[in-house]
Chain A
Amino acid sequence: QKEVEQNSGPLSVPEGAIASLNCTYSDRVSQSFFWYRQYSGKSPELIMSIYSNGDKEDGRFTAQLNKASQYVSLLIRDSQPSDSATYLCAVPPFNFGNEKLTFGTGTRLTIIP
């Protein structure tokens, strides 16, 4: 099993709808979780981090964490064409600080106007 798994997509969502991106991880004791966004031809940028079970909201973005199920998700409400990008889930090994991140292969999201 890969350490961090994501559906590669592509995921197509109509403008204004909710986009749901999912990520599972194998290390049961992981404590930190990150979502990076990468536009085509650009570099990744951090959009959300979450450390505790439950939901964390930041504007139109909500990260959800379920440690028992080893599952983290990213919801994008009121999706906009500018949200079209690849979303990368990243998890650091438990015995490292957040500097050593293992990335999923990413989910390509397309928002359809």
Chain B
Amino acid sequence: DAGVIQSPRHEVTEMGQEVTLRCKPISGHDYLFWYRQTMMRGLELLIYFNNNVPIDDSGMPEDRFSAKMPNASFSTLKIQPSEPRDSAVYFCASSLDRADTQYFGPGTRLTVL
């Protein structure tokens, strides 16, 4: 299996622009997670899905952030409008069930100028 796939790997944008991050989970995994990692705050869970349904979005920082999972093999995290404080590494992870290991993608390094 190719593992969790994320794109783009790096994104540099200007403040106010829309940013869309993409994730393809491991085939057959029921859970998908979006995390954000910064030096100051560490690794934070933003939102997670079970069978394409959002279960907990309490970690989404503001209304500027939104996430969708239109099918079992694809999810997006959108930031609109982006701000410099959104600069971070965004990870997508997936797991087989709620008690299973989470497998992380390679991450997207976002820089908002």
Contacts and interface: CB of A to CB of B under 8 A. Distances in A.
Given A42-B106, A43-B104, A43-B107, A100 B48 contact: yes
A100 B49 CA distance: 11
Nearest to B48: A99
Interface in B1-57: 31, 33, 41-45, 48, 50, 55-56
B112 to A, nearest CB: 20
Chain A binding site: helix, strand, loop or mixed by DSSP?
Answer: loop
Nearest to B101: A46
A101 B106 contact: no
A59 interface: no
A97 B97 CA distance: 9
Interface residues of B, number: 23
Interface in B60-113: 91, 95, 98-107
Nearest to B92: A43
Contacts of A105: 41-42
Interface residues of A, number: 18
A45 B104 contact: yes
Contact of A44 (B41, B44, B104): B104
A101 B45 contact: yes
B31, B43, B56, B95 pick with most chain A CB within 10 angstroms: B43
Nearest to A49: B101
Contacts of A106: 42-43
Interface of B: 31, 33, 41-45, 48, 50, 55-56, 91, 95, 98-107
Given A97-B98, A99-B31, A105-B41, 6 more contacts: A43-B104, A98-B99, A98-B100, A100-B48, A101-B45, A103-B42
Interface of A: 42-46, 49, 88, 96-106
